[in-house]
Amino acid sequence: MATRSAPAPSAVAPATGAGKALSRQLWVILHRWAGLSLTLFLAVAGFTGIFLSWLDELEVATAPELHLAAPPSPGARPMDVLAIRDQVLARYPGARINFVPLDVEPGRSLRLHLSWPDPKTGIEQPGPGWDDLFLDPYTGRELGRREWGDIRQGMKNLMPFVYRLHYSLALGPTAMLVFGVAALIWTLDCFVGFYLTLPVRHKPPARGTVRATGKTWWRRWQPSWMVRWRASGYKLNFDLHRAGGLWLWPLLLVFAWSSVSFNLPQIYVPVMKQLGAEDPREAFFSAMLPRPRAHPALGFEAALARGQVLAGEEARKAGVAMRSDGETYLWHSPEIGAYVYGFTTSADISKHGAGTSVAFDSDTGALKAVQIPTGSNAANTFTAWIVALHTAHVLGTPWRIAVSLIGAAVTMLCITGLVIWTRKRSGRAGRSLRRSAAT
């Protein structure tokens, strides 16, 4: 959020007419109610965001028994990930593992996510109380289990629960949609808040007056950028809200609009399409099969080989270089009858996420779609950057620290905005009470 109230009188010159004053007051009211409706969502998202930029480290700190796996001897090589997957499926014949991370960081465990589909319909159903399985990548031995995000299971689910709070208040898909609407309101309110920091325009002063007083438009806007640290509690609160939102405005807009991309793609995608964004996977992924293809002709081993071939071919066509320091994965989607092989190239902003990918038919291996995260057009590159900035997967440790500070700032803006509203509401109630007493 940027600001939630009109600028202080010292920063604003008198309006030139009732029309402008009414128009500005309307924006003040809209900003006020937008801020009130967003307070819970943004306070939670901001506060949890402080910790999520350090998600990996905090996962290890809160559940080391799940996330750490020391090599049995110096230089020991981990087992083939697909072989471990086969062992797990043989151990749990009713389970399905559709996503496999193909790289395991030295000293870390392998995490596999299991689902439990109905054998007749293929539709996912509740499992046996766990869905995350952690394994020693050197031996295949089980290290532990958890139901991802279920805080009732204790500290091993603390960070997944914090993550669920961050994007949905841990309340499920409906809350995730509501969070998306909140992100859209936040995006629009960023512009309203910025406008309300601007000084009101008025009639040009008499000749020579501006030069004599020094009160140019820019000079009248200057107080909006400043914090009166020695002022009273309310004035300091107001300045923190206004100046904090103004200084952080570009970053707040990045986090607001990227939140829309996560939680409200039905709005984000059409808007970005108008700006030139292209997603060659969209039509392919929207074509659901009448019945999930749970057992395709290509098994995971054959699919991996096919994905690697297609990845090399498409990378050469796109003129991008394969990166050995990034993540790779293989994902099977029975619902659309396809595999997606994700890998990292010079078109990826960071080594996390494997944003470059090829999608191909799970029976025939025919190429269906290619995704190159940057370089194809400006709109796609813009999306890749705002997502990487939001998730702190770029610019190293300094940016991760910055993301934590931005999360704290968003929480501060929520609190200061609520204080401003409470103070003004108390003032209005007091005036109303005095008028009633006078009559």
- Among 38-42, 188-192, 279-283, where is mean pLDDT lowest? 279-283
355-394 residues labelled b (16+ CB within 10 A) or e (exposed): bbbbbbbbeebeebbbbbbbebeebbbbbbbbbbbbbbbb
Burial class (CB in 10 A: 0-12, 13-18, 19+), 399: middle
Mean pLDDT (whole number) for 286-292: 84
Determine the Cα–Cα distance for residues 388 and 171; give it in Å rounded to an integer.
25
Continuous segment of H or E residues that includes residue 146: strand 142-146
pLDDT tens-digit map of 337-353 = 999 999 999 999 988 87
Q: Which range has the top average pLDDT, 16-30, 224-238, 292-306?
A: 292-306
Confidence band, pLDDT 50/70/90 cuts, at residue 300: very high
Where are the domains positioned within the chain?
A: 9-54+171-255+397-438
Confidence band, pLDDT 50/70/90 cuts, at residue 423: confident
Side chain identity at residue 370, one-letter code:
V
pLDDT tens-digit map of 34-75 = 999 999 999 999 999 999 999 999 999 999 999 999 999 888
In this predicted structure, the answer to whether residue 5 has a pLDDT above a threshold of 50 is: no
Confidence band, pLDDT 50/70/90 cuts, at residue 118: confident
pTM above 0.95, yes or no: no
Tokens describing residue 387? 């997502």
Q: What is the pLDDT of residue 341?
A: 96
In this predicted structure, the answer to whether residue 158 has a pLDDT above a threshold of 70 is: yes
107: left (phi over 0), alpha (psi -120 to 50) or beta: left
Determine the Cα–Cα distance for residues 162 and 164; give it in Å rounded to an integer.
5
Confidence band, pLDDT 50/70/90 cuts, at residue 424: confident
Q: What residues contact 393, with CB distance under 8 A and at least 6 apart?
A: 349, 350, 352, 353
pLDDT tens-digit map of 345-396 = 999 998 887 689 999 999 999 999 999 999 888 999 999 999 999 999 999 9
Q: What is the pLDDT of residue 290?
A: 87
Average per-residue pLDDT in the chain?
88
